[in-house]
Amino acid sequence: MEYLIGDGEVKCLTPSGEIAPATQKEIGSLSKKQIAIRSDGLIVLDEKGEVVWSTRKRYAQHFFPLSVVDYARAIYAFERFGKPLPILSVDSHDTLECDFKCADCLSGCGKSLPIEEYPKDNFKMPLEFYEHILKEIVEYSSRRGFSKVRFEQSGEGNPDFYEFRPEILSFAKRNANMGIVYVTSGSQTDDSLRHSLIENADFIRISFPGIGQNAYRFYSGQTDFTYNDSMKNLEKILDERRKNGREKDLMVGARLALRSEHEGAYLDFAKRLREMGLDVIQIVKILVPEYKRPEDFPVTSLAMEQLQATRDLENPSFGVSLPHSLDSMYYSREIEDRREFPQQCFSALIQPVLMGRSLFVCTKSEVMYSQAFRLGTFQGVPQELEQFLSPAQVKEVTKNVPGECKSCCSIYDNMLMHSLQGVIRSIKSGLRFYEVIK
């Protein structure tokens, strides 16, 4: 039996696809984290309660602590009732400092940004100024009826290096009611940062460059912090989460890239993490090396077996996220079929990116490094975000997107919004949106 959760109600989805009233109380007491781990797609019902559209792609880790239903509702309100879109999520890159030298780093290990092209002091983020930016964002969204903006901090470097991290985490949670996602290797996570994360974060995700004691040196030129150090760091996080009673709502996960050297190692790695008490593991494809094609790097049969066995480790308290198709080791974000791609970029409107003090339309490197795609730079005055995201400014900055975007860093989000837009426009009845829970 599966369940549907949305609009504060729960329904059953029978194995034959019928919608029935929920009978099990158990599902009603699940925390947001538990729902996210068990999430298995989105279903749209019309006024008669009939399924009019569904997708079984999993978005849970990607949107958490929001859900795909938040995105669907925002697009629905915009399309059907002309309500302006709020910012749902902001991805903040507030430090360029990094102690890793990953071969596949998109930001050249935090060093390839043309700093001189940014406004003066763009990457100086005193605590008060950062607080002003977050306040602007949440007030902007709150004026548009949305009160829990997702705040992801991942650095264009190692976010642990930002000097006021414990304080900004606390401000974001306590004063701005934001949903906090923190992505790090953990190499510089000290006691004070860990305490603040345990107290304030919704999701801590540890990135592993590779599996095994030599992996950090091999993939990231890092010898001061090793695979074993990362495991110890994870143990400390999980231990402190338990001591603070946050097991039910603080998600802790790991992210690992598909690598040919790991073909026989995925399963043991995932088993170990599950035994430690981790909630989710995400194994991802990384971008295809320049001038190559993804199909030049097929997944071996051993890797395929291991990945399928890893998927089978999944249970209601351990989520496994694998690439949607396991046809190759790498992926390309190339927009292959323009007819299938939206005419407007939703991502730029609902999940812009902060680079220091500047707000950009998205994270794609060729866009992020181009000042033409800067929506504005915060100066510290009230309601300045209204100007950055005014219809005229957005129209001007995004006039060539997605038309001139050869590839898209938010391709799945944009395709999802595009599909929803099509459903909302073609079905005139009132629609309701539900997350499917396994």
On the CB side of 410, CA atoms within 13 Å amount to 26
Place of tokens 């923190």: 182
Among 100, 182, 266, 330, binds ligand SF4 (CB under 6 A): 100
8 A C-beta contact, residue 308 and residue 302: no
One character per residue 303-342, x = contact with ligand SF4 (rule: CB under 6 A): ----------------------------------------
Binding of ligand SF4 at residue 220 (CB under 6 A)? yes
**Collapsed DSSP state (helix, strand, coil) of residue 436:** strand
Alpha helices in 260-402 (DSSP H): 266-276, 301-311, 346-350, 365-368, 384-388, 391-397
Sheet holding 9-13: strands in order across?
A: 19-21, 9-13, 2-6, 432-437, 39-45, 51-55
Single-letter amino acid, residue 406: K
Q: Which is nearer to ligand SF4, 34 or 414 (CB)?
A: 414
Size, binding site for ligand SF4 by CB under 6 A: 26
Pairing of strands 251-257, 280-284: parallel
149-188: contacts with ligand SF4 (CB under 6 A) = 157-158, 185
DSSP assignment of 161-225, as one string? G-TTHHHHHHHHHHTT-PEEEEEE--TT--HHHHHHHHHH-SEEEEEES-SSTTHHHHHH---SS
Binding of ligand SF4 at residue 273 (CB under 6 A)? no
Among 197, 397, 401, 436, binds ligand SF4 (CB under 6 A): 401
Stretch that binds ligand SF4, among 105-113, 268-276, 307-315, 384-392 (CB under 6 A): 105-113
Q: Which is nearer to ligand SF4, 270 or 411 (CB)?
A: 411
Binding of ligand SF4 at residue 347 (CB under 6 A)? yes
Among 13, 44, 69, 109, binds ligand SF4 (CB under 6 A): 109
Among 273, 362, 375, 389, binds ligand SF4 (CB under 6 A): 362
Place of tokens 């459903």: 423
For the CA atoms of the chain, what is the radius of gyration? 21
122-151: contacts with ligand SF4 (CB under 6 A) = none
Q: Which is nearer to ligand SF4, 286 or 427 (CB)?
A: 286
- Footprint on this chain of ligand SF4 (rule: CB under 6 A): 98, 100-102, 105, 107, 109-110, 157-158, 185, 220, 345, 347-348, 361-362, 364, 367, 401-402, 405, 408-410, 414
